[in-house]
Structure 1
């Protein structure tokens, strides 16, 4: 039996029962569409997170008060010394350090004239714009403190500027931040949202003024940016030695940007695996559907199998014929699943324009290969049963 004859027989078998074939295709198609769609969303989220973190630079180290791991009773009862502005100044003197940003954050009311708006307030150092690659739309960022004190200046985020001043120039105007009077010296360029937070609706004030505003003795964290002359591990050890010398004990935690990205990648991978398992259930249902229809087909076409064997078809050719039918079913289901996924992606793009999606051609190819593998695995048992039928017994089934 020639290859094109086998292909013609396989196609005619599927077309002879179009409704049953279509229902079997849908089982595979839904599974393939679910797996491919979830993969596109997972890769899109991973790319979105990496892109958002990359805009702050790739060589960052964050110090937070308190240890992430506590060992022994003494660690539980010991007091934690808060991070201070003096700690940040000491770290600024380390080699290879480009910028150090002490941070205190909270919420409060910002007032200008009769306008009142509750927003996020970020107390930071004068190097924040340099460290985080923020640009100014007008004016300048917070100046370096003089004689240990910062002037009462504020820099407005893009959204905050528009809400309070509209198109007017805010430079030199006085606003109240948390009840304290500040002079506007700059406006940040539009930055957008970061992991769900609107960083344009923020007022930036000096960190020492934020201490008084929020009645805090210590910092929420210190962000440190270093150059390519050292590695994060090496610099982390230097930071650890300096802070232990100042605090007496290691009562702080160090986190690099790579650590944060690895943690987020693990979370996204677990989430993708869990949701992908749901798509795998649909694939399993599709495989059972192919197994069922192929088993039924062998019984219904026993006489046809006997005739093929009687005119010279070998068991291997019969096996290939039914395996090809299962493979064709699954591949058509895979193609239908990819079309279904394309429709779902288009709908999601229209309904949720901001949803990050990343469609990789390699994943589409893998989806088709997975569909083919499912068809072959599901069709092996019925195809072997068909190949083992004896011609005389099969013809008696007519």
Structure 2
């Protein structure tokens, strides 16, 4: 039997039982569509996280108190010999390749103007904070270049805070009460949106020294370090360790590079993507069981046909290939349908919910199609062997 005859015979067998073929292919199609859709969301989240972090620049580092002994989060004040201070942030400006540093402390506070009160995220920072995190001031200016240890009572508001407290009025020059102190508003930040669930516009910024007193903290939460873009990251880290180590008498701090943060999130999201792909793989196995069932039934129904083929000269090997080709083609059809279905749903999701990050990883799609064909081939082995082993005379007697 020629290959063309094999293909025609296989197609004829599938089209002769359209409903059964469609139901068998549907099981594989659902599995492929699940793989495409779930991995598309996972891949989209991966791109989303990278974009969220790189919006602050690619040459940003964070120095946090406490020595982390694992790849997890820093231990903070639990294992800190000496807290990070404003003087540490100033000293780090002397480190090699460092362009600027900015100390930061964060907490929640109540801000009030007139009869309006709002609970916000309050940041105590230095005057280089917008340069460190690539944020812009929409009106007015950022905190002036005062001594951060004894700065004047100035505040800069996030766009949402300014809108909610002043309701369209001009906030510049107005007084607001943050905690128990009064501050003069000198600027309003440009809208920044949300990052990983945190609203960057529902914030206010005051001098870091005043924030330390307000929150009754001994040290900073972190120091932002911006280095030269072309600088070797390892040398920058070594220089920071040398400067801070000399001041602290040891390495009681943790340096986190942006690449380390991206690697951690990348590992998590890769694991998530693999997990959801595995869930889709289970659906493929279910589809394979369906193919196995259908072909087993087909062998019993087509026993006389198999006997006739053997009688006219078809070898056992040829009968085996006929059923394997049928199983493989059935899985391939279901796989293609699943690719179209999954890609279509992912496209509709992207149009209906633009905020939902959806990006189809075509490598996973091709792998899923390959797995589908392999599952169909594996599912067709047992029925094909059974068909090939039928005795021609006994098969011809079957009704």
Same fold (TM over 0.5): yes
Structure 2 residue matching 1:253: 3-state secondary structure: strand
The aligned counterpart of 1:376 is: 377
- Measured in 2, the distance between the counterparts of 1:322 and 1:132 equals 63
Shift of 1:270: 2.1
Which residue of the partner structure matches residue 81 of structure 1? 82
**CA separation of 1:178/1:78 partners in 2, compared to 1, >3 Å: closer, same or farther?**
closer
**Is 1:330 paired with 2:342?**
no
| Aligned-residue offset at 1:388 | 3.5
Say whether 1:39 aligns with 2:30.
no
Question: Which moved further from structure 2: 376-385 or 182-191?
Answer: 376-385
Contact kept in structure 2, 1:61 and 1:232, CA below 8 Å: no
Map Cα deviations across residues 123-146 of structure 1 (whole Å, 9 max, x no partner): 111111111111121222122224
- Work out whether residues 110 and 178 of structure 1, in 8 Å CA contact, stay in contact via their aligned partners in 2: yes
Rounded Cα–Cα distance in structure 1 between residues aligned with 2:39 and 2:288: 20
Answer yes or no: is the 8 Å Cα contact 2:101–2:223 preserved in 1: yes
Question: Which runs of no fewer than 5 residues in structure 2 stay unpaired?
Answer: 71-76
Residues 139-181 of structure 1: CA deviation (Å, up to 9, x unaligned): 2212222485222211111211221223333221211122321
CA deviations on 1:48-86 (whole Å, 9 max, x unpaired) are 00000001111222111111129xxxxx99762110000
SS of the aligned residue for 2:281 comes to helix
**Cα distance in 2 for residues equivalent to 1:228 and 1:269:** 27
Q: Is the 8 A contact 1:109 1:179 kept in 2?
A: no
Task: Name the CA distance, whole Å, in 2 between partners of 1:189 and 1:250.
Answer: 37
Match of 2:74 in 1: none
Corresponding residue for 1:292?
293
Secondary structure (helix, strand or coil) at the match of 1:216 reads coil
Correspondence 1:206 to 2:201? no
Using the TM superposition, give the Cα deviation of residue 341 of structure 1 relative to its aligned residue in structure 2, in angstroms.
Answer: 2.1
Structure 1 pair 270/361, CA: closer, same or farther in 2 (3 Å)? closer
Mind listing any 5+ residue stretches in structure 1 that lack a counterpart?
71-75
* Kept after mapping to 1: 8 A contact 2:96/2:239: no
Distance 1:179 1:100, change over 3 A: same
Show CA shifts across 1:170-229 (max 9, x none): 221211122321111222111111011111111011111111111112001111111134
**Residue of structure 1 in register with 2:265 after alignment:** 264
Counterpart Cα distance in 2 of 1:154 and 1:210: 11
Within 2, Cα distance between the matches of 1:233 and 1:369? 42
Change (3 A) 1:289 1:145: same
The alignment's C-alpha RMSD in Å is: 2.3
Query: What is the alpha-carbon distance in structure 1 between the residues aligned to residue 12 and residue 132 of structure 2?
Result: 67
C-alpha distance in structure 2 between counterparts of 1:62 and 1:48, whole Å: 21
Q: 1:234 maps to which residue?
A: 235
Counterpart residue number, 1:12: 12
CA distance in 2, matches of 1:85, 1:349: 46
Q: Does 1:115 align with 2:127?
A: no
- Partner-residue secondary structure (3-state), 1:167: coil
Deviates more, 1:236-245 or 1:268-277: 268-277
User: 1:278 Cα shift?
Assistant: 2.2
The alpha-carbon distance between structure 1 residues 120 and 209, as it changes in their structure 2 partners (threshold 3 A), is: same
Between 1:56-65 and 1:44-53, the stretch displaced more is 56-65
Structure 2 match to 1:73: none
SS in 1 for 2:375: helix
Deviation of residue 380 (structure 1)?
2.4
The 1:361/1:378 distance shift into structure 2, 3 A limit, reads same
The Cα offsets for residues 252-278 of structure 1, whole Å up to 9 and x where unpaired, read as 111111111111111112222333322
Q: How many residues align?
A: 393
